[in-house]
Each structure stands twice: as C-alpha cells, then as structure tokens.
Amino acid sequence: MSPELIKIKAFPTGMRLHEYVALEEGMYRDEGLDVEIMWEVLRGQMARWKNAYKERPQDIPFTTGEVSIGSACMWGTISNAGAGMGKFVPEVHGVSPWGIYVRPDSRIAAPEDLKDVPIAVGLRAGSHFNVPYHLERYLPLERIKPVNVGGFGARLKALVDGEFEAASLLPPQLDMAEQLGMRQVLGGEFKTLWWVDERVPVQTLRRYFRALTRAEEAISAEPRRYLHLWKHSNPPEFQDHPWDYNRFSRGERFVPEPLSRQEFEAIMEMVRRWGLDDYLKERSFDKIALSIA
C-alpha cells in the first residue's frame, strides 16, 4: 500500500506557471503531497478590490487561521510576516519581470513623465512596492503617486478603459498588455518570497519546494509546452479575449537560493523610508522567518 499523501492548501500569485505545472505533471504527488489550489484566493487577487490591508483576498487565509502556503513580492512577504500574518521562507525565492504600461496614444514617453501621475497598483503588493523601488531612480518619492485599484486584471482593465493613465503590471498581464497594444514606459525585475502559515511542517515545505524545483527545470527545458497554462491566470475581465498564449513569456523563475540577511535589512529600510512600515509588529529576521534549512 502506498503511503498516504500529505494534504496542504496553497494559493499561487498568478505570476508564474510552476504551481500549475507541478499539479498537471504530478510533481506534487511524486513528493508525497496532495496540494489543493485555493482558486478562490487566486481569483480574488485578480479582481477589482479596494480592501484595506489585512482584508485583501490574499490576507484572508492568514487572518482566518487557515493553514496554507502562499507567496508575494519580497517586500510584501516580509512586511506581511512582520505584521503578524504568517512567516517568510528565506531559503528560496522567485525572480519576476514587472513594468509600468500606458496606452499607445499616451503623452507619457519616459519614466520622468510619470511625475504626479496616478499609477494603478494593488495595495502593499508587488505592483505597489515596485513603483517606488524602480521609479525613485527618476523621481523624488513625493512625486510618485501609486493608487490602490486591487487585482492584476482590474489594473489592466483600468488602463485599457482610460480610468488610469498608467498601471503597474506583472506576469502575465505584461504579455496581455503587449497584445492589447499597450506601451511599456519602465520595466525591470523583482524578487518574490514564500509566505506560509507557521504550522506548516518544515518537511512539507521541503517537499513543496522540491516540486517547484522540478517544475522550474521542466519550464526551462520546454517553455512553450506549458504556456497554455497561463489560462489559469487569465482574469475575469478578460476571459473572452482570444489570447495567443504561445506569444506569452514564461513569467517568474524559481530560484532555490536564499535571501541574505543583508538584503532583508535593506528591504526593511526601504519599506520604512516609503512609509509602509506602519503595520509592522516585528522587524527581526529570526522572529519572522521560518527556515527550512
């Protein structure tokens, strides 16, 4: 008799293919896991929301005490853990593309043109933190104007509909924006970290990340084989659009390497300087990290 699978719930960010690949290819099961994807949380992160911090769709599993595995941008994950919502795992990270887009007829041609321009973001998430992180090279902080719109589908729709002149986008909305004729003003990369309930056993997390490592290897070897799985990250606002997934990029990469303490301290300083540390209850690496080493 085969051993019973370990049940665990997880919600992807929607920025990468790994969870979808691991599920479809049986990589979780090969590691002895029965992973239930929390699709309602994923869809909640796509939709329009103006919830307060700790009331966002991705916060609910942590504020309601549900044992789960999630992830977010590195600033957001660390800030969430510091605010008392779970712990961050320091031994692995992701690397994702990001960009600010405008409509093709926009007067905005360079990052400097974004001075005092409201930019659609999702509150205290990757689309938010990336705006000051990348734009501060071009503009003083007080002239950078992120505005909470919510989910990544909602931000793209707000841009297309003309509600906002600029929007901060992540995969796969970067590729969606390109297919819709939108124009990138500024782009770059950022790191993501995993954000977990501290009751998840370390051995379960090790198995989970081994599955994602295998998914990374599969995606790197044959990216086109898995691009159709971006359908799972297609937001409700664009369900009927005939996307050509074969033209999409592969999205976020999974990197089985740790975040250094020096980088952690730099992140905490950035969050403080941006004035986004007001919910932090704990700022110590050792108290908000859950090591799987």
How confident is the model over 199-227, as pLDDT tens digits?
Answer: 999 999 999 999 999 999 999 999 999 99
Strand positions, DSSP E, the chain: 6-10, 33-37, 68-73, 87-102, 118-121, 145-148, 166-169, 183-196, 253-255
pLDDT at residue 50, as a whole number: 77
Report the SS3 class of residue 247: helix
Q: Which CATH number fits domain 97-190: 3.40.50.2300, 3.40.190.10, 3.30.460.20, 2.40.70.10?
A: 3.40.190.10
| pTM, two decimal places | 0.94
Q: Which CATH architecture has domain 6-95+191-288?
A: 3-Layer(aba) Sandwich (3.40)
Domain pair 6-95+191-288 / 97-190, same fold: yes
Residues of the chain with pLDDT under 70: 1-2
Residue 2: predicted pLDDT: 56
Q: What is the pLDDT of residue 48?
A: 84
DSSP single-letter state for residue 150: B
The answer to whether 60 and 265 have CB atoms below 8 angstroms apart is no
* Residue spans per domain, the chain: 6-95+191-288, 97-190
pLDDT at 51: 80
> 43-69 burial, b for 16+ CB within 10 Å, e for fewer?
bbbbeebeeebeebbbbbbbeeeebbb
Residue with tokens 């992140």: 267
